[in-house]
A and B are shown apart, each in its own frame.
Chain A
Amino acid sequence: MADGAGTPGAIVAGNAEDVGYAVAEELCRHGSRVVLLDDNSDALTACADRITAEGGDILPLAVDFASAQSVGAAAQTAISHLGVPQFVLHNAAVLTERPMGEWQFGDWKREVDMILQAAFVLSKTVWPLLLEAGTGSLLYVSSGSALVGFKDEAAYAPAKHGQEGLMKVLALEGRGRNIAVNTITPGTPIDGPLAHTYTEAQRQVMVKPQVLAPAFRFLSQIDASFSTGNRLNAYQLARTLAAAVPAASLAAGQ
């Protein structure tokens, strides 16, 4: 099996350009071994090079998120590399805004499959290991589009809704084995590849993904006894963690 037995392992699926990179970096800095999946080879390589140069233990894997075979194979490779993963984050998504009358089926299916099918394949691949281990944290990145509709989101919104539903089912199924399954919404606009879809008001409050990364690191080490079946908020959690650190330092007399 894998080296580093006992070292927490994490699979981060997308996005090497912003949140995925920030989370992978944060996890590596705090001692996790990370496998980062992405479909953007250049961003993936750049990300892995930077983290490796910092001393992080990261394995980059190029993947086609719309292909069940590709995602499944990458997940298996990650398992071979890490052993039982403690944390699986599904952050891969594409948001194409297009009126219903202009969608071609192939494009629609691709966008839905990157979100919903990939979530299913990743989860199904690691699930037997998590059941046996009796612990683990699955986290799917969510969106307002998981709860309400938006014009021109005939692929993205249904897929995010479907992912939310998958989370609810797996949270119930995993509870008896202490497996946490949650979704997480960014809670604030992110200064990243989707920034071009933002309004001016959103642009004014957007934050770098590094601001949110501690929330993901925190959730990488939870199990169902902490939270499962919930829709969490990365910004709120990250700000709370940031505010709690000085208090802890004060208590320690530092």
Chain B
Amino acid sequence: MRSMDDRVVFLTGAAEGLGREIARELARAGKRLALMDVQAEKLRAIATELAAVTEVLPIEVDLADAAATEAAVQQALDHYGPPRALIHDAAVLKEVALADVTFDNWRREVDIILQAAFILSRAVWPGMTAAGKGSIVYVSSGSALAGFVKETAYTPGKHAQEGLMRVLAMEGKEFNVAVNTLTTGAPIDTPMSDSHYTPQMRIGIVHPSRLAPAFAFLSGIDASIATGQRFSAFHLSEAMRSVAA
């Protein structure tokens, strides 16, 4: 097995919104990136932008497709060796009541959130545990703890992802692999929120770049720092900013 380069980060959902800001922050921090997303054109755009400052491997992949997801992460592993960090940000949120949601759409949304989290984590697990360090981060949501009307796929998916974090945090501890979730902690101005937020939810909305420092920080930790935790990206980022000031 190739040795781990501490600069390597695998990131999903990098084409737009929060994921794109995370990618920019990681690039600024000198990380070598594998960026995965299904939106090919936007992925190419961010990859081109960041290639000016760091090494970027863009991988177009439909994370609802198990075989494609396995192939994508293997491509990243073949290129970089085991990553220091895996950040799973990709998700879809379609608000549809149980009476109206189709099985295929429900399945797709749950798979992008939970199935992809498992496949990606499973793929990087041997490298991280062998290296005795690593950081896995799942982007979380209030929907991981509470229920919301019409979130027939998103809420179960995010709940399940939180459960996967809790299990892997316990298993990763002896190998010094950190597994945590990172919830936004503040409303963010992204395409997902455009279609989801009510006016009430938009109060205090911030640019997603405000949350990015937390992801860069967590991409470099291991279990000796923190594991099994549910962090708030906004509060963590603001705290880091206050220390840097």
Name A's B-contacting residues (CB within 8 A): 68, 72, 99-101, 103, 105, 108-109, 112, 116-117, 120-121, 123-124, 127-128, 131, 145-146, 148-154, 157-173, 229
Contact = CB atoms under 8 A, between A and B. Distances in A.
B72 to A, nearest CB: 14
Given A105-B122, A162-B160, A149 B97 contact: no
B98 A165 contact: no
Nearest to A168: B147
Which of B101, B151, B159, B170: most chain A Cβ within 10 A? B159
Interface stretch (B33-41, B106-114, B182-190): B106-114
Contact of A100 (B98, B122, B150): B122
Interface string B162-177: 1111111111000000
Dominant secondary structure of chain A at its interface with chain B:
helix
Shortest 3 CB-CB contacts between residues of A and residues of B? A168-B147, A149-B166, A161-B163
B243 interface: no
B4 interface: no
Interface of B: 66, 70, 97-99, 101, 103, 106-107, 110, 114-115, 118-119, 121-122, 125-126, 129, 143-144, 146-152, 155-171, 228
A154 B114 CA distance: 11
Contacts of B129: 101
A100 B115 CA distance: 14
Contacts of A172: 147-149
Contacts of A152: 167, 171
Contact of A158 (B101, B151, B164): B164
B73 to A, nearest CB: 12
A13 B160 CA distance: 21
Contact of B167 (A101, A154, A168): A154
A148 B166 contact: yes
27 contacts: A72-B103, A100-B122, A101-B125, A108-B122, A112-B114, A121-B103, A128-B99, A148-B166, A154-B164, A154-B168, A154-B171, A158-B163, A162-B110, A162-B159, A162-B163, A165-B143, A165-B147, A165-B158, A165-B160, A166-B152, A166-B155, A167-B147, A169-B98, A169-B147, A169-B152, A173-B98, A173-B150
A124 B170 contact: no
Contacts of A117: 107, 110
A164 B99 contact: no
Nearest to B113: A162
A163 B119 CA distance: 20
A103 B170 contact: no
Given A101-B129, A112-B114, A145-B163, A168 B155 contact: yes
A127 B159 CA distance: 22
Given A99-B171, A100-B125, A173-B98, A164 B228 contact: no
Contacts of A171: 147
B168 A163 contact: no
A169 B99 contact: no
Contacts of A164: 159
B156 A116 contact: yes
B130 to A, nearest CB: 10
Contacts of B157: 162, 165
